Structure 1
Amino acid sequence: MLHLRLITPADRTDDVVRLVEQTVGTTHVAVVPGAARNPRGDLVMCDVAREAGDELIGGLRELGIDECGSIAVENIDLSLSRRADKAEEEAPGEAADAVLWEQLEGSTHEESTLSVTYIAFMTLATMIAACGVVLDNAILIVGAMAVGPEFGPLAGFSTALVQRAPRLAWRSFLALITGFAVAMLITVGFSHVMAWLDLFSAASLDAPRPNTAFIYQPDAFSFVVAILAGIAGTLSLTSAKSGALVGVAISVTTVPAAANAAVAFSFQEYRQAWGSTEQLLLNLLGIVLAGTLTLIVQKTLWSRHRAKRASA
């Protein structure tokens, strides 16, 4: 269930309440006249089944409530109510299959923000992975994958393509490219410092690395895994099952590939640097392609479901 908190101008409150009451899957409607001060208006609250949330939010935006008032949406973790149970039964489809496009755009917009924190996480993840590739330590590689924040911009770019949102697409692309560029540049400097401390060496890169050699040796499986991870990551976002994102993060070789490319470049190991770059590009392409196609399929299926229900 979702909880909606709306601030509506007094002259639009009746239209809003009518829309809420006519939307299948809503309950617990409450109206507090004159409660809002900034902006001035009435406070309207209701609960709605997740599978009916996108329809209701779309209707509210058509009424212009997002421009003249406010629409706030919260997830309800627990609702002990027979009316809520009935609303979920009446709502079409399954909650896990419903996509809240406004919420998805908002979350990916936030995750795609090019900030100091984002750059810091990307750089730290790349430096951790650099230590992992030199030491041939799979544990460090997995840790770096989990720390890397790159899936946010990738999901944002896929969402922007499906929703035709050029600003979100550019924002995500800028965060992705800048993040990797800065992280790799700093990791090159980090590698030189570690070499000066006699902790990194070209011999370590040339030595057999059974645990991490796959990073600079891309093959068909690299692209297949990226496709599967992109599908899983997108489904975890649209179904609000964010716990699956950890598994997605440690199944793709983006950050480790960037790290190996940076370390190899610092020691003039250009063959490894190119192989790692190819691995990175394959993973990025696979995730974006899979995420975009997954969202297209979800949008098409849900649109057909709504159209079928409307004609029934």
Structure 2
Amino acid sequence: MLHLRLITPTDRTDAVIRLIEETVGTAHLAVMPGAARSPAGDIVMVDVAREAGDELIGGLRGLGIDTSGSIAVENIDLSLSTRADRAEDDAPGEGADAVLWEHLAEATHEESTLSVTYLAFLTLATMIAACGVVLDNAILIVGAMAVGPEFGPLAGFSTAVVRWRPRLAVRSLTALLVGFAVAMAVTVLFSLFMDALGLFTEERLEGERPNTAFVYAPDAFSFVVAVLAGIAGTLSLTSAKSGLLVGVAISVTTVPAAANAAVALSYGDTGQTIGSTNQLLLNLLGITLAGILTLLTQKWLWRRAR
């Protein structure tokens, strides 16, 4: 179930109440006339089954509540109510399959922001991965994958394409491209610094690396895994199971490939630099295509289910 808290202009409250009452899957409607002060108006609260949430939110936006008032949405972790159970039974479809498009667009918008924090996480992840590739340490590679925040912009771009949001698409691409460019540039300097300290050596990079050589040797499996990870990541976002994103993050080699390219570049190894860059681009392409196709499929299936 979802809990909606609305601030509605007084002259639109009746229309909002009619919309809520006509929406199948709603329960626990409460109205507090004149309770809102900024903006002034009435407060309307209602619970709605997740599978009916997108329709109701769309109707509220059609009434202009998002511009003249406020729409706040929260997930309800526990609801002990026979009425709520009946509302979920009445609503068409399954809650686990429902996509809250407005929530998805808002979440990916935030994750696609080119902020100092985003750059810091991506840069730190790339530097950790650089240590992993030089030491041929799979544990460091996995840790770097988990730290990397690059799935946010990838999901944002996929959502922007499906929802036709050009500004979100540009924002996501900017965060992705600038983020990796900054992270790789800093990692080149980090590699040179570590080499000066004697902690990184070209012999280690060029030597046998059975645990990490895959990051500069892309093949068909690289693309297949990226596609599967993109599907899983998109499903985890649309079903609000964000905890699964950690598993998605450690299944693709975006950050390790970027790190290997940076370290190889610092030593002038053109072969590994090109191979790692190809691995990076192949993974980004696979995740993006999978995200777009997954969202389109979900949209089509949900329309058929309703």
- Fold shared per TM-score above 0.5: yes
Query: Unaligned 5+ residue runs, structure 2?
Result: none
Structure 1: stretches of 5+ with no match in the other structure:
307-312
Distance in 1 between the 2:281 and 2:134 partners?
A: 21
| 2:98 corresponds to | 98
Secondary structure of 2:200's partner? coil
SS in 1 for 2:46: strand
Q: Aligned partners of 1:305, 1:144: CA distance in 2, in Å?
A: 40
Which residue identity lines up with residue 192 of structure 1 in the other structure?
Answer: L
Distance 1:134 1:195 in 2: 11
In structure 1, what is the equivalent of residue 232 of structure 2?
232
2:247 corresponds to 1:250 = no
Q: Secondary structure at the match of 1:77?
A: coil
- 1:50 and 2:50 equivalent? yes
Quote how far apart the aligned CAs of 1:113 are: 0.4
1:59-98 equivalence runs, <5 A? 59-98=59-98
The CA distance in 2 between the partners of 1:192 and 1:60, in whole Å, is: 56
TM norm structure 2? 1.00
- What amino acid is the match of 1:145? M
Partner of 1:197: 197
**Partner Cα distance (1:55, 1:17) in 2:** 15
**1:305 positional shift:** 2.4
Query: What secondary structure, in the 3-state scheme, does the structure 1 residue paired with 2:252 have?
Result: coil
Note the C-alpha offset of 1:302.
1.0
Residues 1:264 and 2:258 are matched in the alignment: no
- Residue number in structure 1 paired with 2:156: 156
| C-alpha separation in 1, matches of 2:188 and 2:206 | 17
The aligned counterpart of 1:114 is 114
Aligned residue pairs: how many?
A: 306
Residue 286 of structure 2 corresponds to residue 286 of structure 1:
yes
TM-score for both structures, normalised by structure 1: 0.98
Q: Does 2:132 align with 1:132?
A: yes
Match status 1:186 vs 2:186:
yes
C-alpha separation in 1, matches of 2:228 and 2:237:
15
2:11 corresponds to: 11
SS of the residue corresponding to residue 243 of structure 1 reads helix
**Residue aligned with 1:71, SS:** strand
| Counterpart in the other structure of 1:24 | 24
Question: Partner of 2:242: helix, strand, or coil?
Answer: coil
Give CA-to-partner distance per residue, 1:56-75, whole Å, 9 cap, x none: 00000111111110000000
RMSD between aligned alpha carbons? 0.4
In structure 2, C-alpha distance between the alignment counterparts of 1:21 and 1:271, rounded to whole Å:
65
Per-residue deviation at 1:243? 1.2
Local SS of the residue matching 1:132? helix
Between the aligned partners of 1:200 and 1:73, the Cα distance in structure 2 is: 50
Matched to 2:209, the amino acid is R
Secondary structure in 1 matching 2:60: helix
* Alpha-carbon distance in structure 2 between the residues aligned to 1:88 and 1:300: 21
1:310 counterpart residue number: none
Code of the residue aligned with 1:293 in structure 2: it is L
SS for the counterpart of 2:93 is coil
Amino acid corresponding to residue 67 of structure 1 in structure 2: T
* Alignment of structure 1 residues 212-223 onto 2, 5 Å: 212-223=212-223
Counterparts in 2 of 1:290-301, with a 5 A limit? 290-301=290-301
Partners of 2:71 and 2:10 in 1: CA distance: 15
In structure 1, distance between residues paired with 2:173 and 2:257: 19
Once residues 250 and 126 of structure 2 are traced to their aligned partners in structure 1, the CA distance between those partners, rounded to angstroms, is: 13
How far apart are the structure 1 equivalents of 2:187 and 2:224? 28
1:304 Cα offset (Å): 2.3
Task: In structure 1, give the amino acid aligned to 2:84.
Answer: A
Structure 2 counterpart of 1:94, which letter? E
